[in-house]
Chain A
Amino acid sequence: MATFEQKLARRSFVVTAEMPVIDGGGRADVQRHLEPMAPYVDAFNATDNPSAHAHCSPLAVSLALSQEGAEPIMQLACRDRNRLALQAELMGAAMHGIVNVSCMTGDDVSAGDEPETRRVFDLDSTQLITLARVLDGGRYLSGRAIEPKPHFFIGAVENPGTPPFEYRLRRAAKKLAAGASFLQLQLCYRPQLLESFMRAAHDTGLSERLALIPSICILRSVGGIRFVATRVPGIDVPGELLRRVEQAADAEEECFEISHELASHALSLPGVAGLHFISFRKDAGIAKLCARLGIPTRLEREPHGDSAPVAV
């Protein structure tokens, strides 16, 4: 089976998904989460203390994913580590054959359950992308040589749904120039904003050089959509969408319909390299949504002659 990097290089449609956070459940928990998603998902994001809540580290979860036969994308945020720790984490990943990394700023500590934490932000996300490229080139930031040099397939994130809107595309281009090959886009509940971003990326040729992957979240309840609307930084949920879920006879079904509408819209846009799915429960929501969208399983998406089944 081709790697995530190879699939994007040959411009195959990709599906990525967020591995839910792992706490005490260990590898068994990783396994349970993987099972229903694995047929569709090319690579899984191992998150780095999302919303500034502590969980198992992204390197540990990436390693567990590898051991379970799944391909990880290790997220790395600038919030909790200085440049020495970031380099150590990246080199640790390389040591275990983890090549996909997604570099991000990180939600502020005030979004978390330990707001008294000291913020680090020694580097910003664009500098972290550059740092990963420097390591990939066989040097530490200090210039000290690394032999043999590690390899990283570098990604990052961008938020098309929040100000300054016109600058977001230039920021994406800056991340490309810094060394990013793919961007996973933040959840966007205002389809017209994602559309303007994707159309501009297409018209300027950016989406030809940088794989852009919009995100879709499968929520389950009124509480879930309220949480995203009020507690997740940078995501604006329109009032009418909230009311749709609040007034629905079956909130879970309504949430699924909304996810389907947003995903169908994203798929209709030019320059979309794949979709990134987020679902917080151990369920078949992602598989169900992929099936409904007509997205083939990853085995079915493999070109002929390269479709040997892989145990997951």
Chain B
Amino acid sequence: MSAAPRLLAAAEHLVKGPIWGCEMCGQCVLHSTGLTCPMTCPKTLRNGPCGGVRADGNCEVKPEMRCVWVNAYERSERLPAWRGHIDHLRPPVDNSLKGTSSWLNLISGRDRRTPAGWPTQSDGHV
């Protein structure tokens, strides 16, 4: 990585780290998950909660923590924008983007690149 992208990644982490616990996956989906980072889920689930959520709404893995997806769902319902985006199918994480700036990847479109076999909207299912 050259200096500018590295600097941008550092700036992004400075902002998103303290607020959202950003893990720098490089393909940010915060807007579609109620501004709750799915990478803070111990199972890093991108498409909704697992079946292990506790009766009190806390995490199966970390009993002291509220389930990331319980928060995501509640917050997404309260957000004025991006309604319904939580129901979108999010593709597998591109692990080669780890540590890069999602801002840059958003501008370049790199964060929307999926494996060639992954269905596109035109497949009619997604």
Contact = CB atoms under 8 A, between A and B. Distances in A.
Contacts of A141: 92, 115, 117-118
A233 B92 contact: no
B103 to A, nearest CB: 24
B51 A233 contact: yes
Nearest to A158: B51
Interface residues of B, number: 38
A174 interface: yes
Contacts of A170: 86-87
| Secondary structure type dominating chain B contacts | loop
A123 interface: yes
Contact of B51 (A126, A143, A157, A174): A157
Interface string A159-195: 1001110110011011001110000001000000000
A127 B42 contact: no
Interface residues of A, number: 45
Interface string A44-72: 00000000000000000000000000000
Interface in B52-100: 52-57, 60-61, 67, 69-70, 73-74, 86-87, 89-93, 95
Contacts of A119: 42-43
A248 interface: no
Given A130-B119, A143-B117, A171 B49 contact: yes
B40 interface: no
B70 A164 contact: yes
A163 B117 contact: no
Contacts, number: 131
Given A164-B57, A164-B73, A186 B43 contact: no
B48 A140 contact: no
Given A119-B42, A163-B67, A174 B115 contact: no
A177 B48 CA distance: 14
B60 A234 contact: yes
A31 interface: no
A238 B12 CA distance: 46
A236 interface: yes
B19 interface: no
B107 interface: no
Given A121-B45, A174-B48, A179-B125, A142 B57 contact: no
List the 8 shortest-distance A-B pairs measured between CB atoms, nearest first.
A143-B116, A233-B52, A159-B51, A126-B47, A236-B55, A105-B50, A139-B117, A234-B52
